[in-house]
Amino acid sequence: MTNRQHKIGSGFGAWSTAEEVLTGIDLTGRTAVVTGGYSGLGLEIVRAFAGAGARVLVPARRPDAARAALRDVPRAEVRPLDLTDQADVRRFSGQVVADGTAIDVIVANAGVMACPETRVGPGWEAHLALHLGHHAMVNHLRPAFAPGGARVVAVSSSGHFLSGMRWDDVHFRDGYDGWLAYAQAKTAAALFAVHLDRLGGPAGVRAYAVHPGSILTPLQRHVPLERQAALGWITEDGTPPAGFKTPAQGAATATWAATSPLLDDLGGAYCQDCDVAEPATTDDMLVGGVKPWAVDPAEAARLWALSAELTGVDAFS
């Protein structure tokens, strides 16, 4: 269960697409679960998996919108789910387990970016609540994992550069900052993969975190256009600048991490550009890499314990 943060030479790169990384891989008979799988990167991941023959379950807070987005995607099945509602997570997961579905891949992709302050459930901050939803869903689905094991891919981001875990106030009760809330949630996604892999590795459950790259998708809907321009995310004509990926390219690293045999012995790794990421040596998010607080085993164990306490579920420890 080595967590080696240096490139391995996958044969793919920053501009590879999700479809390209699945060339020669047959997913017929496999089942994947992709949260947020009906827009942006998630939609491209679902299309790639389905195109390779997989059955794909797409949990959706807006099932009608999901069905419309996925109407031309074969083997994509929409299941209603609000990830921020722990009771609904239990319901969804219980139905999947009861169906006898064998799950081979989970991509924890759903997320928000710098949204207005939002409280859900028992007052949880919305960004972190999605992490807690993914934690609970993966744990509740543990009985449905395929007999040989499964892969779990948590979608992180170079946004984790801005903050580690704010242990003294993870729910921002003493003052809300949307960007720091987003950053903490992306650190949480990476740490979730680290500890899940540590716990699940002996049983064939491998977990990875991925930075998709810089891509314009509906994720940025809470960021005003003038702010996006100031950040250098859009040019004067409204198009993405050099260095930004298309959604199909942004979906590639998660798709690769979910399927590549090159990662069999590298569980817990943080990946970008269809390879294992190097440690970050600058604060340039476009360059990327991974900060030490996002792959720290002690931090990962602490987050797992907190998540298990808050959600009341821990199927791996």
Catalytic residues: 182
Reading the block at residue 315, the tokens are 């199927």
Q: Are 47 and 56 in contact (CB under 8 A)?
A: no
Asked if 13 and 276 touch (Cβ cutoff 8 Å), the reply is: no
- The 3-class secondary structure across the chain, one letter per residue, is CCCCCCCCCCCCCCCCCHHHHCCCCCCCCCEEEECCCCCHHHHHHHHHHHHCCCEEEEEECCHHHHHHHCCCCCCEEEEECCCCCHHHHHHHHHHHHHHCCCECEEEECCCCCCCCCCEECCCEEHHHHHHHHHHHHHHHCHHHECCCCEEEEEECCHHHHHCCCCCCCCCCCCCCCHHHHHHHHHHHHHHHHHHHHHHHHHHCEEEEEEECCCECCHHHHHCCHHHHHHCCCCCCCCCCCCCCECHHHHCHHHHHHHHCHHHCCCCCCEEECCEECCECCCCCCCCCCECHHHCCHHHHHHHHHHHHHHHCCCCCC
Q: How many CB atoms lie within 10 A of CB 314?
A: 16
Helix (H, G, I), strand (E, B) or coil at 61: coil
